[in-house]
Amino acid sequence: MKSHFDGVDPILCPRDPKTGEPLPPRSQPGYYPGFSTLSQGAFWDTATRAVVDKRVKHPPEPKFFAAEAWTFWTTVFAHLIPQTDRIPERQIPIVATLDHRLANDQTAGYRYETMPPDRVVYEIGIEAIDREAQHRYRGKFLVLPYLEQDLVLKAIHDGKPEAAQEIWKHMSVHRFWQMIMGDAIDAYYAHPWAWDEIGFGGPAYPRAYTRLERGEPEPWEVEEQRYVWLAPANSASAEVDSSPSHHAESGQHSLPVRSSKGARR
């Protein structure tokens, strides 16, 4: 049993809702077993194939972050988009992509006036998170147990950090969260392994899609095969807000969080 977990702590792994037992990491989580966008590379144009190949085979080398910052953000991103349901060799690099972006000073093309420049955000963000960790659990973020780390980040997610107010005065909590989550999503869901996980068809030029309606899969796509799983017991990130939005004043502000545990059937 132990060997299935391949060095990953079972307590960090998603659980089977019936037995409560941790599920061993997979090479491909998600409901589309055997689906591989990369296997379709021959049907893509050269330029796209080159970009995607590079993403998979040659993630960028560290350039911007110093070693400690690299470790710090690696740990944070392991909470923002946890990957313990993936075997280690199929985990998707997030910090490398972010590092590349910051090294080249690539931005979204704008900066909120309530935010410092992106590079500064990732500098002072470390301190803000560490101070929150100190304040809540009397330890630096990196040394805290997983759940406490999760809760530190959740405080920021909820828009309610208690420490480091002088940092937050110059950096909107909400925008900060948007940026680090945005970077996590930018890296993770741009990766073909993530496409396989969610059943996205991937690049489609010159080959088109032919079955446009009723969610019908292409001949090379696979039908969905759902399984039920729960987030690990010691995580605080499983809940999402599913409340119908017309009760909300604005989709951009924090709301009371309603629990919705586990995957729907």
Partner 1 sequence: MKKPLLGEFETPSSNKYRVGPLQSIHMPMRRFREYEDVDYVIVGVGSAGGVLLQRLARAGFNVVGLEAGPFWDTEHDWVSDEAGSHELYWTEPRVTGGTDPLALGANNCGKGVGGGSVHWAAFTPRLHPSDFEIYTRDSVGADWPITYDEIRPYYEQLELEMPVSGPAYYPWGHPHGYAYGPHPMGGVGNALIKGCSALNIPVSIGGPVAILSGSHGDRPHCIYRGFCIQGCKVGAKASTLVTHVPDAIRTGAEIRDRSMVSRIELGKDGRVTGVHYFDNEGHSHFQRAKAVIVSGYAIETPRLLLNSACPGHEKGLGNSSGTIGRYLMAQAGNVVLGRFEQPVRMYKAPPAHALTEEFYETNPKNDFARGFAIQTVGPLPVAFGKQVLAAKKAWGWGLRREMMDYNHWAAFGLLGEILPWKDNAVTLSEDKDCFGLPIAHVTFNLHENDKKLIKAAREKTEEVMQAAGATEVVQEARYAHLVGACRMGSDPRTSVVDKFGRSHDIPNLFVCDGSLFPTQGSANPGLTIQALAARTADYLVSQGERIFTSNERDMTTTPIRRELAPPETWGKGVPRLK
Partner 2 sequence: MANELSLTPPVLDMKMVANYVREGRFQRSLALLTAATSVISGLEVAYEHYRGSYSRRVMYTPVILSGLLAIAGVAAFFSRRAARTVLRLVSVVTLIDALAGFYFHVRGIHRKPGGWRLPMTNMIMGPPIFAPLLFGTSAYLGLIASYLQREESSGMPSTSGRDIWFARLLPPSAGRELLSAEQDMREGRFQRQVAIVTGISALLSGFEAYYSHYKNNFRYAMQWSPVVIAPVLAGVAFSSIKSRRLATTALPAVSAIAGADAAIGFYYHVRGVLRRPGGRKRLLYNVMYGPPIFAPLLFGAAGMLGVLASLLRRRRV
Binding site for partner 2 (CB under 8 A): 43, 205-208, 210-211, 216-217, 219
Min separation Cβ 215 and partner 2, Å: 10
Query: According to CB under 8 A, which residues from 121 to 150 bind partner 1?
Result: 150
Q: How many CB atoms sit inside 10 A of residue 51's CB?
A: 12
Q: Work out whether 43 is an interface residue with partner 1 (CB under 8 A).
A: yes
Write the interaction track for partner 1 spanning residues 180-219; mark x where CB under 8 A is met and - where it is not. Answer: -xx--xx-xxx---xx-xxxxx-xxxxxxxxxxxxxxx-x
CB-based burial, 172-207: b 16+ in 10 Å, e otherwise: bbbbbbebbeebbeebbeebbbbbbbebeebbeeee
Min separation Cβ 67 and partner 1, Å: 25
Tell me the Cα Rg of the chain: 20
Please give the structure tokens belonging to residue 101: 């972006």
Min separation Cβ 160 and partner 1, Å: 13
Tell which one of 82, 93, 125, 161 touches partner 1 (CB under 8 A).
82
| CB nearer partner 1, residue 3 or residue 109 | 109
| CB nearer partner 1, residue 138 or residue 246 | 246
The one-letter amino acid at 4? H
58, 88, 103, 227, 237 from 98: Cα distances, Å: 14, 20, 8, 32, 22
Task: Decide which of partner 2, partner 1, none touches 71; Cβ closer than 5 to 8 Å per partner kind.
Answer: none
